[in-house]
Each structure stands twice: as C-alpha cells, then as structure tokens.
Amino acid sequence: MMLLTLDELLARTAALHNHLCPRQVLGVRMGMLAADVLKLDLPQSDKRLFTFLETDGCFADGVAVATGCWLGHRTIRLMDFGKVAATFVDTQSNQAIRVWAHPESRRYAAEAEPTARSHWHAQLAAYQTLPANKLLCWQPIQLTISMEAIISRPGIRVNCTYCGEEILNEREKIVNGEPVCRACAGEAYYHIDGLESLTLDNESSFSPDSVYGSLAGMSGLEMAASSES
C-alpha cells in the first residue's frame, strides 16, 4: 500500500523537479500501481523493490519519489529504451511487473478535461484522476538478466590491471585472467585526444570492435601496458 497520498507524492516530486508536469504524475502513478500489484509498502525505506526505468526525464523523478527507489540507493537502473515504462522487481519474491503508459492515455485525458487550456494542462489534471487502467498498462514479466549480478555484494572492488582505477560491484571484465575495466576493455563511451595509442596498437583503427578484437587476440592491452612501463 501507499504510505503517502497522491497529493503528498506530487508535492515531493514537484519540489525535487522545480515544477509539476504530466510525466511526473505518470511516474508517480506507476509507482502507486507497483505498490498495489506487488503489495509493497511504498515509498520504501529499504531496498526490497528494484526499478528498471526505460527512459530518463521527468517521469523518472515521479517513479523515484513514489517508490523510494533511487540511484543513490542502488535500487534504480536506467535501461535507455526511450519509453515511458518501468519494470518493478520485488527482490524478495522475485515477482516482477512491467508498466507502461496506456497508448490512449492522451486521448482519455483530453476527454476527461475538455475545457483545459491545452493538452498539457488536460494531461496534468487528468493523469491525477483517471483510473489506473485508463492511464497505465502492465503485465508480469520474467527478467532475462540476473538481479544477483546487478546488485552484486557490498565491499567488492578491484583495480583495473590497465588504468589502475578502482572498479566496484564486479563490473570488471576478465582479460587474460586479469580484471580490466569496461573502458579499457573497449566499451568506453569517450576517448581522450592523443591517448588512442595507449589502448590500441597502431595498426588498429579506433573502434570498440578493434579494441575488443585486439584484446581477445591478447595484444592491445599487453602492448599498451608494456609500452607504458
């Protein structure tokens, strides 16, 4: 059950977000539906519920406020599919549901608030009053990824064999039997001007595949490590 009312939750998310908008309401209503279906007391003060968000933005703050799941508590993860949808996992029972915005919710909002100043205002008002089954869809799902692996265990850390930076939560790759961070293993989302030669042999072009390929063939890393020392 919900430990706070919709109005209390909206006040919290509005304060966090500096305004109140329809997608925050949608996020709050999703969290409330999760409490209802999974029979959990939310917003939680422990880590029992884990949430996968399928987009960031306003909606994410509504979900976090209603559920008590936060990045800082390691109870939220962004799966960036660009969808206003979320999966809620009860980590005790392993029951999981995926919730998404009803495809007709905008039309229902317009019908419910015919005198609203704009679609935005109609949605802001109607998303607070529409019954859940006109606002949201949900179904039980089975995860294809391991919650144990996602959560890992507290206190686990190793240093990357190549860059030396600390890696938490078992996020390292094992390359030639050694722990390597994802960036050094070729999954970096950035590059540093002039440093390509440290992670690649000179004949490779700069692409994750080539880094991966050279790591798999075991030369890129070791060459880089030896050229550094």
Binding segment for Zn ion among 52-60, 68-76, 100-108, 132-140 (CB under 5 A)?
52-60
Say whether residue 184 binds Zn ion (CB under 5 A). Answer: yes
Give the residue with the Cβ less far from Zn ion, 50 or 162. 162
CB of 211 to Zn ion, least distance (A): 12
Name the residue nearer to Zn ion (CB basis): 45 or 207: 207
32 binds Zn ion (CB under 5 A): no
Binding of Zn ion by 21 (CB under 5 A):
yes
Does position 63 interact with Zn ion (CB under 5 A)? The reply is no
* 27 neighbors 53 (Cβ within 8 angstroms): no
Pairwise CA distance, residues 19 & 28, whole Å: 14
151 binds Zn ion (CB under 5 A): no
Single residue of 65, 136, 181, 215 touching Zn ion by CB under 5 A = 181
| Given 58, 85, 122, 175, the residue binding Zn ion (CB under 5 A) | 58
- Answer left, alpha or beta for residue 194, where phi above 0 means left and psi between -120 and 50 means alpha: left
- By CB under 5 A, residue 34 contacts Zn ion: no
Compare residues 86 and 160 and give the one whose CB is closer to Zn ion: 160
Measured from the Cβ of residue 186, the count of other Cβ atoms closer than 10 Å reads 23
Give the Cα separation of 161 and 180 in Å (integer): 5
Q: CB within 8 A of 193, min separation 6: which ones?
A: none
Piece in contact with Zn ion (CB under 5 A), picked from 148-156, 163-171, 197-205, 208-216: 163-171
* Half-sphere exposure of residue 69: CA atoms within 13 angstroms, side-chain side: 29
Nearest approach in angstroms of CB 92 to Zn ion is 32
Question: Min. distance of Cβ 23 from Zn ion in angstroms?
Answer: 6
Tokens 């008590």, residue located: 68
Q: Please, which contacts does 151-154 make with residues 24 or more away whose CB atoms are closer than 8 Å? A: 151/50, 151/74, 151/91
Overall size of the chain counted in residues? 229
* List 14, 150, 163, 198, residue binding Zn ion (CB under 5 A): 163
Closest CA to 200 of 184, 187, 211: 211
Nearer to Zn ion, 40 or 184 (CB): 184
Does residue number 162 form part of the binding site for Zn ion (CB under 5 A)?
A: yes
User: In a 3-state reduction of DSSP, which class is residue 94?
Assistant: coil
Q: Which of 65, 160, 175, 211 binds Zn ion (CB under 5 A)?
A: 160
Q: Which residues bind Zn ion (CB under 5 A)?
A: 21, 58, 160, 162-163, 181, 184
